[in-house]
Structure 1
Amino acid sequence: MGLSERQRIEILILLECGDKIRSQAEVCALFNAKYPANQISQGTEHGTVHDLPRTGGARALNEEKKLNIGTS
Structure 2
Amino acid sequence: MEKQNISKTLENMTVEQLSQYMKDNKDNHEEWQKAYDLFAQKSDWQDAPEGASWEEQKQFVENFVSQVTG
With normalisation by structure 2, the TM-score equals 0.31
Report the TM-score when normalising by structure 1.
Answer: 0.30
Structure having the larger proportion of residues in strand: 1
